[in-house]
Each structure stands twice: as structure tokens, then as C-alpha cells.
Structure 1
Amino acid sequence: MRICMHGFVSGKVQGVSFRQFTQEEAERLDLDGWVRNLADGRVEVLAEGEESAVRELADWLERGPERAEVSGVALEEQPLQGIAGFLIRR
């Protein structure tokens, strides 16, 4: 079953290639969606795909890449968006 999750990652998550690593992880999991930095220092993520893969990405977001220091992840299930591919939004 396909699901869509949208949310925010807090902590030291900008300037540590968080978006790039998130895109790589999402592509590895065959997910669609996007990731972007926000002006307040958080990273916003939307991912959709097979439920197990989306949940695996959610677990990965809790850790992030090596140089990140994740202090919180808030994700909510959303209606499917029908996005193709996984993009880094600017």
C-alpha cells in the first residue's frame, strides 16, 4: 500500500548535506517526493511510496547523515500527491 508522509526535521540539519543524503536515501528506497531547507533552520520533507519504505525513510530521518544532529522529527500522513521522482527544492 502506498502512503504519503509530510513533515519537518529539527536540529543541526542545514549545512550538513541533509537534503542530498535524504534524496539519496529516498531514491534507494524508490520513493517519490521532495526535501527543502526552511528559513527557520528546519528541513521539510514529503515522501510517498510503499508504506514500509516510507517508514524506513522516517527512521533514517531520526538519525540523518553523519554530520547532522537531529533533535526532532514530526511527520504526518497526508493524501497521496502523485509526485514522480524525488527532488531537492530550493
Structure 2
Amino acid sequence: MKKHIVINVAGKVQGVFYRASTKAVADQLGVKGIVRNQPDGSVYIEAEAEPGILEMFVEWCNEGPEKAHVTAVSTAEAELKNYRNFEVVKK
């Protein structure tokens, strides 16, 4: 059964290929959703997948790409939106 979670990632996560890396990992795991930068310097992610896959995805979000420095990750469950793919949203 698919779940939808909202993930907020804080730290040095902009300008370090965080969004592109997130998309690559999401595609690899089969996670659907979106990722975008927030004005406050954090990264916002909506992710949909099986619970076990979301766990692995959130684990990756805590690490991020090589140059990122993640200080906090929060997750919350939300309503399923049935995304078709994983997209980097550019403002």
C-alpha cells in the first residue's frame, strides 16, 4: 500500500545538486513526487511509494549528495496525490 510523505530537509542543501541527486535516487527506487528549493534555504520533497522504499529514501535524504550538509529532516504523512513520476520543480 502506497504512502505519501512530505519531507523537509534543512542545512546546506541548496547549490549542492541536492534536487538533481534526489531525483536520481527517487527514480532508482521508484519513488514518485516532487522536490523543490524553499526561500528559507531548505528543500521540500513530496514522495510516494511503499513504506519500505520511503524509509530507504528518507535515509538517503538524511545524507544527501556529497557536498550537502544536512542538519535536520522532518517527515509528515499526507494524502496520496498519485504522482506519475518524480520531478524537480524550478520556481
TM superposition score normalised by structure 1: 0.97
Unaligned runs of 5+ in 2: none
- Correspondence for 1:48: 48
Amino acid at match of 1:38: Q
Residue of structure 2 equivalent to 1:59: 59
Could you tell me which amino acid in structure 2 is paired with residue 13 of structure 1? Answer: V
> TM-score, structure 2 length as denominator?
0.96
Partner in structure 2 of residue 12 of structure 1: 12
Deviation at residue 58 of structure 1 after TM alignment = 0.4
Other-structure match for 1:26: 26
Counterpart residue type for residue 61 of structure 2: L
Matched residues, number:
90
Deviations 1:29-62 (A, max 9, x none): 0010000001110000000011111111001001
CA-atom RMSD in angstroms: 0.6
Q: Secondary structure at the match of 1:75?
A: strand
**Matches of 1:7 and 1:25, distance apart in 2:** 15
> Would you identify which runs of 4 or more consecutive aligned residues in structure 1 move more than 3 Å?
none
CA distance in 2, matches of 1:64, 1:7: 13
Deviation at 1:7, TM superposition (A): 2.3
